[in-house]
Amino acid sequence: MIICLILVKFFSILRYKIMGGGLMQLVAYGAQDIYLTGNPQITFFKVVYRRHTNFSIESIKQTFNGTADFGSEVSATISRNGDLVYRMYLEHDATFTHAEAAADAKQLNLVERYGDSLIKECEIEIGGQRIDKHYSLWNRVWSDLTEENPTGFFATSSGSTAQKAGSGSQNAVQGTGTLYQLMTGNHPGYNTGAQSHNANRMGVNASSGGANTADPVNGFLYTRGDETDGGGADTVEKAKIVVNKIFLPLQFWFCRNAGLALPLIALQYHEVKVKMTFENSTNLARAGATADHDAAVPISSSTCTAAGKFDLWCDYIYLDTDERRRFAQVSHEYLIEQLQRSEHVLNIDSPVIDINMNHPVKELIWALRNETVATGALDNGGRHQTPGEKLGDATSGPVSIDRFEGKWQLKLNGHDRFSERESSYFNQTQVWQHHSGFGSIPSFGATVNGDMNENDYTSSVSVGAIGVYSFALKPEEHQPSGTCNFSRIDNAQLCGINTTVAAGGGGSDGGAPTQQKELSSTQANNTLLTLFGVNYNVLRIMSGMGGLAYSN
pLDDT in tens, the chain (552 residues): 666 655 555 556 556 666 677 788 888 889 999 999 999 999 999 999 999 999 999 999 999 999 999 999 999 999 999 999 999 999 999 998 887 655 455 677 778 889 999 999 999 999 999 999 999 999 999 999 998 877 666 543 333 333 233 333 223 334 456 788 889 988 766 555 544 433 333 333 334 334 454 444 545 665 666 655 454 445 557 778 888 899 999 999 999 999 999 999 999 999 999 999 999 998 888 776 555 444 456 677 667 888 999 999 999 999 999 999 999 999 999 999 999 999 998 877 788 999 999 999 999 999 998 776 544 333 334 455 554 454 456 667 888 888 889 999 999 999 999 999 999 999 999 999 999 998 887 655 544 344 444 334 444 456 789 999 999 999 999 999 999 999 999 999 999 998 888 765 443 333 333 556 666 555 556 788 999 999 999 999 999 999 999 997
Strand-pair partners of 363: 470, 534
Cβ neighbors of 377 (< 8 A, separation 6 or more) are none
Question: What confidence score (pLDDT) does residue 28 get?
Answer: 86
Instruction: Give DSSP secondary structure letters for 399-445.
Output: T--B-EEEEEEEEETTEESS--EEHHIIIIIHHHHH-SS-SSPPEE-
- Cα 550-551-552 angle, rounded to 5 deg: 125
In a domain, 92, yes or no: yes
In a domain, 250, yes or no: yes
Q: Is 440 exposed, middle or buried (0-12, 13-18, 19+ CB in 10 A)?
A: buried
The domain tally of the chain equals 1
pTM: 0.84
Q: How many CA atoms lie within 13 A of 77 on its CB side?
A: 8
In a domain, 19, yes or no: no
Q: Is 277 exposed, middle or buried (0-12, 13-18, 19+ CB in 10 A)?
A: middle
In a domain, 364, yes or no: yes
Question: What confidence score (pLDDT) does residue 388 get?
Answer: 47
Q: Are 311 and 51 in contact (CB under 8 A)?
A: no
Q: What are the φ and ψ backbone dihedral angles of 329, each rounded to 5 degrees? A: -95, -30
In a domain, 25, yes or no: no
Question: What confidence score (pLDDT) does residue 458 get?
Answer: 45
Tally: H helices and E strands in the chain: 9, 29
Residue ranges of alpha helices (H) inside 130-235 are 136-146, 179-184
Question: What confidence score (pLDDT) does residue 277 get?
Answer: 98
In a domain, 279, yes or no: yes
Question: What confidence score (pLDDT) does residue 72 get?
Answer: 96
In a domain, 447, yes or no: yes
In a domain, 37, yes or no: no
Question: What confidence score (pLDDT) does residue 396 get?
Answer: 74
Question: What confidence score (pLDDT) does residue 407 get?
Answer: 95
Report the CATH number at residue 266.
2.70.9.20
Provide the residue range defining the domain that includes 335.
Answer: 55-548
Question: What confidence score (pLDDT) does residue 513 get?
Answer: 38
Question: What confidence score (pLDDT) does residue 523 get?
Answer: 56
Beta strands in 492-526 (DSSP E): 492-502, 516-518
